[in-house]
């Protein structure tokens, strides 16, 4: 037997041309651009809204774990250990908004479309099976009628469903 050998370059080219890599690259680029939009909304709208209800912008909320947490103006170093939990909360909000938009604008409509398409395909296959079954029944009836005409009413030793 002779097997056709595929070179590494040909395999890589086939992998790239399959479409999955290109779709993934487009998704990453769109996702990165969309993340910038969501981050801008969080920083430009949500953080100031929190600041309006609270005492400061969301990124400025922090707690001091150890020490006085005062910045030295000369060295610009922080005395103590500061936990910037406002920045973490802001990043969490950005993630939740991104996930919600992706789910409601992309995943949910695609799932509904695929379910509708699968239902149509199943209905189409169901109709096809019904047609095939009914054709089979008609052919059996024709065969039985021909056997009855030829044999004077007897279907033979094996009955009407006997294979010939």
**Is 124 a domain residue?**
no
**Is 50 a domain residue?**
yes
Give the CATH number of the domain where residue 50 resides: 1.10.1200.120
Q: Give pTM, 2 decimals.
A: 0.51
Burial 17-34 (b: 16+ CB within 10 A, else e): eeeeeeeeeeeeeeeeee
- Measured distance CA(73)–CA(44) in Å, rounded: 28
| pLDDT confidence of residue 84 | 85
**Is 84 a domain residue?**
yes
**Is 18 a domain residue?**
yes
**Is 123 a domain residue?**
no
Lowest mean pLDDT among 50-54, 119-123, 137-141: 50-54
Q: What is the pLDDT of residues 52-109, one digit of tens each?
A: 887 777 777 888 887 777 776 776 677 778 888 888 888 888 888 888 887 888 888 8
In three-state secondary structure terms, 64 is strand
Burial 51-80 (b: 16+ CB within 10 A, else e): eeeeeebbbebeeeeeeeeeeeeeeeeeee
**Is 133 a domain residue?**
no
| pLDDT confidence of residue 116 | 92
Report the domain count for the chain: 1
**Is 24 a domain residue?**
yes
């Amino acid at each position: 037997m002779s097997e056709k050998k595929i070179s590494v370059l040909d395999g890589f080219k086939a992998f790239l041309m399959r479409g999955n890599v290109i779709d993934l690259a487009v998704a990453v680029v769109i996702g990165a651009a969309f993340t910038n939009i969501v981050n801008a909304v969080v920083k430009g709208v949500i953080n100031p809204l929190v600041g309006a209800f609270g005492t400061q912008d969301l990124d400025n909320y922090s707690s001091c774990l150890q020490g006085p947490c005062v910045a030295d103006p000369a060295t610009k170093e922080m005395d103590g250990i500061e936990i910037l939990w406002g920045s973490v909360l802001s990043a969490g909000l950005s993630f939740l908004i991104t996930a919600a938009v992706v789910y409601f604008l992309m995943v949910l409509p695609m799932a509904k479309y695929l379910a509708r398409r699968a239902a149509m395909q199943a209905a189409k296959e169901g109709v096809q099976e019904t047609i095939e079954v009914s054709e089979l029944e008609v052919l059996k009836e024709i065969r039985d009628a021909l056997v009855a005409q030829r044999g004077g009413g007897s279907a033979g030793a094996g009955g009407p469903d006997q294979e010939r």
